[in-house]
Amino acid sequence: MNVSATPLLLIVDEISAGTASIDICFDGARVWSIDVRDEDPAGGPHRFAWPQALQPFLTGRTRLSVHDSGSSVELAASETMFDDEAGRTRVTDEVGAPLVINKWGRLGVALEALGEEVQELILERSARLIALLEGLGLRPFVVGGTLLGAVRTGKLLPHDDDADIAYLSEHDSPADVAVEAFRVGSQLVAAGYELRRHSATHMQLLFRDDSGAVEHYIDVFAAFFTTDGKINQPFHVRGDMRRDELLPFGSVEINRLQFPAPADPARWLTVNYDANWRTPIPGYVLETPVATRRRFENWFGSFNLHREFWDERFAHGAVRGGDPQWASGAAWLLAEVAAFSSSTLVDLGCGDGVLTRALAAAHPGPNALGLDYSDVGLHVSRAGAMNDDSVTFAHTNFYRLTALAAPRANGVSGPFDAVANHLFEQLGHRGREQGWRLLRMALRSGGSARFTFNAHHAPDVHFDDPTGWHLTEGELSAEAASYGLRVEFVPLPVTAPSFAERRPIGARVHLGSHATPTSRPGRAA
């Protein structure tokens, strides 16, 4: 068996029948695992595109090796040179921790790299969290990879990156489950936990090291039976399960600690994964059926769309104002805000805050507020404005209705102006709903509203990279009209030939003849 690579492709000449998953290592460090169950053993050579998140690290030289995920046996290896750069290929974060592609196709620190001491800490914190949830009158139990590791080996899965805990709600109505989950989240925050909410029923508790960086996290999910007899644990689990297969809870042991678990763990794991859950497949990709995903998103929302993408992008130095593909929009907004008259400027989707600070300097008012949901972007923003009292930054998630309270919650009490540089075309439609409402709020307050966007998609557009997305003038005009707004479009100069096909556009937003929402585009009134 031979293995080779280019900066775009991994090439494995053969895969033996019965191999379920392979690990890809650079100088002995696992960076990626691939589920190869669907590969035809006789169909080699087998070509796999490097994950986009891994591509920036493919530089220099490395000993590229392929291992069987189940046995760890090395199947092939070769000395590989990705380019002419000196040094060895390293896939690590800013503090040198090894990174690996996770089940979402993003880079993260796997439990195997955190060491036994941190794994013990995760388990201790999980046990304390379960005790707290029980004290709140809930019925918590371990699920997901935590349950899978317990049943397989009595340990945490080495390729996992968190601990998973659910609680079984007594409700069968999604509305009641959501109300309860918001109450549970408030109780967890009151108990001192830092909470990031992915949906109404999916909470992520963040644990940081002494430097403030996220060291690990624990997911908390709501689980519930619906009247059709199915068990539900958003965001992924929905299937047939009898109550006596879940209750009364049994227990599983992980590193000598006991945790509550479904009465029939095998049944839960089959619903969660598939009938092959006993076979170690680190490259397993969790694919939620479309009907299930849509059901859960409509019931409980989806607040985390592309947040990890932006966190990674801003961690590696991308800037919404200074990046060449956004430069023409930034220049136009800087010229526009000079004529504004409100005392406060609000920058929607401020990113790393570079443009926010420039806008604050150009704006006649004394205050500027930058809003974003990227924690990394906000960290960089605040660091850059440390000596500037006129600019503040606040966490705001446009996928949540709570975004509409952001101006008042951050001290804006009078007229304000609102701008957004290449935000609207890079948001899902649920996020744009809050964007339009905030622009309308600015106009109704007596302020002005401007935004920029690209009217043509990138040549290599795909879902995982929203910077390549676009919206047309017609689409935006229709959306604006549904909020009682009208838009005046201004073609912008192209700052670099490579971005000419994107057609950057400036948009001046005005109150229309009626300023209350009508029907949403493409939806019944």
Does one domain contain both 26 and 104?
yes
- Is the domain of 237 the same as that of 356? no
Which pLDDT belongs to residue 463? 92
Instruction: Establish if 523 belongs to a structural domain.
Output: no
Among 108, 138, 166, which residue terminates a domain?
A: 108
Residues 411 and 349 reside in one and the same domain: yes
- Decide: helix, strand or coil at residue 17: coil
CA distance 425 to 468: 9
Considering the domain architecture, whether residues 441 and 485 belong to the same structural domain is answered as: yes
* Cα-based torsion angle of the residue sequence 475, 476, 482, 487 in order, rounded to the nearest 10 degrees: -140
**Residue 417: which domain range?**
307-511
Q: Quick check: is 259 in a domain?
A: yes
Quote the pLDDT of residue 210: 85
According to the model, what pLDDT value does residue 521 have?
A: 45
Same domain, 92 and 116: no
Measured CA to CA, the distance from residue 495 to residue 169 in angstroms comes to 54
Q: Is residue 338 part of a domain?
A: yes
Residue 26: what are its φ and ψ, rounded to 5°? -110, 120
CB 66 within 8 A of CB 75: yes
Tell me: do 170 and 268 sit in the same domain.
Answer: yes
Q: Which residues contact 139 (CB under 8 A, 6 or more apart)?
A: 167, 168, 249, 260
Q: What would the two tokens of residue 417 be?
A: 């102006």
Residue 518 lies in a domain: no
Tokens of 185: 């989240």
β-strands 449-454, 416-421: how paired?
Answer: parallel
- SS3 label, residue 348: strand
| Residues 6 or more apart whose Cβ sits within 8 Å of residue 339 | none
Tokens coding 227: 């009247």
Q: Report the alpha-carbon distance of residue 335 to residue 205 in Å, rounded.
A: 42
Domain end point (choices 76, 108, 140): 108
Task: Tell me how far apart the alpha carbons of residues 402 and 396 are, in angstroms, rounded to a whole number.
Answer: 8
Q: Is the link from the previous residue into 7 a cis peptide, with omega within 30 of 0?
A: no
Tell me, rounded to whole angstroms, the distance of Cα 449 from its chain centroid.
Answer: 28
Residues 6+ apart with CB under 8 A from 265: 147, 150, 151, 250, 252
> Does 212 lie in the same domain as 314?
no
Phi-psi region of 430 (alpha: psi -120 to 50; beta: other; left: phi over 0): alpha
How many domains are there within the chain? 3
> Residue 445 and residue 18: Cα distance in Å, rounded?
66
> Has residue 520 been placed in a domain?
no
As a three-state string, the secondary structure of 255-302 is CCEEEEECCCHHHHHHHHCCCCCCCCCCCCCCCCCHHHHHHHHHHHCC
**Cis before residue 45, ω within 30 degrees of 0?**
yes
- CATH assignment of the domain containing 127: 3.30.460
- Statement to judge: residues 486 and 498 lie in one domain: yes
pLDDT at 519: 42
- The confidence score (pLDDT) of residue 355 equals 94
What CATH number is attached to the domain comprising 13? 2.60.40
Output the pLDDT for position 104. 81
Whether 468 maps to a domain, the answer reads yes
198 and 149 belong to one structural domain: yes
In this structure, the answer to whether residues 115 and 205 fall within a common structural domain is yes
Distance of CA 496 to the CA centre of its chain: 30
Whether residue 316 is contained in a domain is answered as yes
517 inside domain: no
330 and 203 inside one domain: no
> 281 and 253, same structural domain?
yes
Using the structure block, give the residue that is written with the tokens 């990709």. Answer: 285
CATH number of the domain that residue 494 is part of:
3.40.50.150
Question: Is 498 in contact with 447 (CB distance < 8 Å)?
Answer: no
* Axis crossing angle, helix 290-300 with helix 174-190, rounded to the nearest 10: 60
By residue count, the chain amounts to 525
pLDDT of the chain, 525 residues: tens digit per residue: 899 999 999 999 999 888 999 999 999 999 999 999 999 887 889 999 999 889 999 999 999 999 999 889 999 999 999 999 999 999 998 778 899 998 888 888 999 888 899 999 999 999 999 999 999 999 999 999 999 999 999 999 988 889 999 999 999 999 999 999 999 999 999 999 999 999 999 999 999 988 888 889 999 999 999 999 999 999 999 999 999 999 999 999 999 999 999 999 999 999 999 998 998 888 888 889 999 999 999 999 999 999 999 998 888 765 555 567 788 999 999 999 998 999 999 999 999 999 999 999 999 889 999 999 999 999 999 999 988 889 999 999 999 999 999 999 999 999 999 999 999 999 999 999 999 999 999 999 999 999 999 999 999 899 999 999 999 999 999 999 999 999 999 999 987 776 778 999 999 999 997 544 444 444 332
Rounded Cα gap, residues 168 and 177, in angstroms: 10
**What are the C-alpha distances in Å from 473 to residues 287, 405, 491, 512, 519?**
34, 28, 11, 16, 19
